[in-house]
Amino acid sequence: MKKRTKMILSVCVFLLIGGAYFIYQWQFKGDKKVTESSHLTLVSIGDSLTEGVGDGKKEGGYVGLLTEKLKAEYPKLDVSSHNYGISGERSDQILERIKEDEALREAIEEAQVISITVGGNDVMKTFKSKLLDITEEDFEEPGEEYQERIQEIFDEIRSLNSEAAIFILGIYNPFYVYFPEITELQSVIDHWNEGTEKVVNKQKNAYFVPINDLLEKGDTEKKENYEKKKNKLLFEEDNYHPNEAGYEKMAERLFENIVAEEENWH
């Protein structure tokens, strides 16, 4: 009788512990990321789009806006961001900085999320080299070299941080509204983005975020802007970089992608 009582008690204890564990798992499953880490560190690397050129409010362009969105979405996390954008840099210069800048390298090591803007200045370098004589074929070799450097950028980042989610933004055609008849330029932009996406798709926990569809036509759905050939998402002083409204669209697109990949933050 005593043996039977002990057996029943043992079974009850086992079921009690197992049940408590099941309830704990079920109750806190949705908060897995919050319990694993109390912070989210965003490191943004790149050119003028990361620096925030064109942001009249001087609040860091898309990086500042994205940081605020992440803070609102994840109030339990200590969200911090580090902006390593330098206007005018090409992919080779960004790669060199990742290799040599100790502060940037340390930031990469600590990041859960890394965002990158790159490529626009590479295209412009090729474009400026021949101007009116340029053809689509002139972009083929530079495009292949660019893809190789993007792979090197990934390799260098992964040597410092093998787990962070990396989001690389595409480039856009700032001249579409003003010169829609120059279809060759749009073809170059499309091929450049396709090349970037091809490299990104070979990486672990890396994502390509297109922005050309957001910025190239501005808000020309408004008749007055179409007739005046104005891209109201670009900075009026250069008609090239995004303005506050343009950066807001970039930040929202990137925010949606980061939230969608929440399970892949480490």
Other C-beta atoms closer than 10 Å to the C-beta of 36 total: 9
- The CATH number, out of the four listed (3.40.50.1110, 3.90.1170.50, 3.40.50.720, 3.40.50.1000), of the domain defined by the range 37-264: 3.40.50.1110
Report the amino acid identity of residue 140. E
> DSSP code of 87?
T
Report the amino acid identity of residue 143. G
- pLDDT tens, N- to C-terminus, the chain (266 residues): 554 444 444 444 344 444 444 333 434 344 444 445 688 999 999 999 999 999 988 888 999 999 999 999 999 999 999 999 999 999 999 999 999 999 999 999 999 999 999 999 999 998 888 766 778 888 999 999 999 999 999 999 999 999 999 999 999 998 888 888 778 888 999 999 999 999 999 999 999 999 999 998 876 555 454 455 678 899 888 888 999 999 999 999 999 999 999 999 85
Q: Are 165 and 113 in contact (CB under 8 A)?
A: yes
- The alpha helices in the chain, defined as continuous H runs, are 2-28, 32-36, 48-51, 61-73, 91-100, 102-110, 120-130, 140-160, 183-200, 212-215, 223-227, 244-260
